[in-house]
């Protein structure tokens, strides 16, 4: 038993026997050039120095973290047991949660509808014009480069407080993300289906309709469903700055130190996210044709 455990695997034994031959054949792997070693060592040292500089510049303190754990435990203790106080308050929170889910749904669907044409404009295999492709990509990058919380602050200033500002914030933020994701899905599609439509006399538009869209729609649908789940959390955050939904109540309860209400709100948000995740996962599997359930 010991001898069998000590003997190496036949493949390992053959590799060890041919070590010199393999090392001679792949000298760059076994004996990399000095310059490559210096570059690798310099890169590691630079990253380590950057990490240390960041910790010092941002006033990282292990003592604050350890002290903060005690404060965190006290904060969690005050949150128990979760309670909304009265049933009327519970229904107010439930209405706000439904509003948050509605904001997330509208934000995703409107953004997906608006982003689909820009996805085609930004795809090289659909629009070969370099100028149009470049301008479309940079426009999407500009929109995507601004965080949804910033968009929420902008739209609250433009249209006022409320869920309408939240919907506009999520539409704007998701528009840039969807435009990029859709264009990448279009570029990754198989061209043979489009060429097959063209070979039987179909126009370029027919090739997109019957050759390209059937390939990308399941991918796009899966991405939209995932972002619906993600936007439910985002809609909570933007509600804190006045964009409607349950986030506004969450911020108010934190300010007035009603920690039991805070924990109840967090549990309600968690339950909604779990339910949406369950439903969207099954829908994604149905769209992509997976046999998993």
Cα distances (Å, whole numbers) of residue 169 to 39, 77, 108, 185: 44, 35, 11, 24
pTM (2 d.p.): 0.72
Specify whether 126 is located in the same domain as 271. Answer: yes
Indicate if the pLDDT at residue 252 is higher than 90: no
Specify whether 22 is located in the same domain as 105. Answer: no
Specify whether 93 is located in the same domain as 22. Answer: no
pLDDT digits (tens, 9 = 90+) for 78-134: 888 888 778 888 888 888 888 888 888 998 999 999 988 888 888 777 777 778 878
Domain extent for 213: 84-288
Specify whether 14 is located in the same domain as 91. Answer: no
Q: What is the mean pLDDT of residues 283-293?
A: 62
- Structural domain contains residue 69: no
User: Are residues 286 and 103 in contact, defined by beta-carbon separation less than 8 angstroms?
Assistant: no
Specify whether 128 is located in the same domain as 161. Answer: yes
Specify whether 215 is located in the same domain as 119. Answer: yes
Sign of the CA dihedral with 131 first, then 132, 138, and 139 last: positive
User: Are residues 114 and 167 in contact, defined by beta-carbon separation less than 8 angstroms?
Assistant: no
Output the six-digit token pair for 135.
Answer: 């301008």
Specify whether 174 is located in the same domain as 100. Answer: yes
């Amino acid at each position: 038993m010991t001898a069998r455990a000590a003997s190496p695997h036949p493949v390992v034994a053959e590799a060890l026997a041919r070590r010199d031959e393999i090392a001679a054949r792949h000298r760059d792997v076994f004996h990399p050039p000095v310059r490559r070693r210096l570059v690798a060592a310099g890169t590691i040292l630079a990253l380590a120095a950057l990490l240390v500089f960041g910790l010092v510049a941002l006033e990282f303190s292990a003592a604050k973290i350890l002290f903060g754990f005690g404060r965190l435990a006290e904060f969690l203790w005050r949150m128990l047991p979760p309670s909304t106080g009265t049933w009327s308050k519970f229904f107010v929170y439930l209405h706000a949660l439904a509003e948050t889910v509605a904001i997330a749904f509208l934000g995703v669907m409107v953004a997906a509808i608006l982003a689909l044409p820009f996805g085609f404009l930004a795809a090289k295999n659909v629009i070969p014009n370099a100028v149009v492709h470049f301008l479309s990509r940079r426009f999407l990058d500009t929109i995507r480069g601004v965080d949804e919380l910033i968009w929420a602050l902008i739209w609250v200033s433009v249209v006022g407080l409320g869920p309408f500002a939240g919907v506009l914030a999520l539409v704007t933020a998701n528009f840039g993300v969807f435009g990029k994701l859709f264009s990448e899905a279009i570029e990754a599609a198989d061209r043979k289906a489009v060429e097959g439509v063209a070979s039987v006399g179909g126009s370029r538009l027919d090739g997109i309709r019957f050759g390209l869209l059937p390939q990308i729609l399941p991918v796009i649908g899966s991405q939209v469903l995932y972002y619906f789940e993600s936007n439910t959390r985002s809609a909570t955050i933007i509600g804190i700055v006045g964009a409607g939904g349950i986030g506004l109540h969450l911020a108010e309860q934190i300010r007035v130190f009603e920690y039991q209400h805070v924990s109840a709100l967090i549990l309600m948000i968690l339950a909604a996210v779990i339910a949406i995740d369950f439903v969207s996962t099954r829908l994604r599997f149905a769209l992509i044709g997976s046999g998993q359930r």
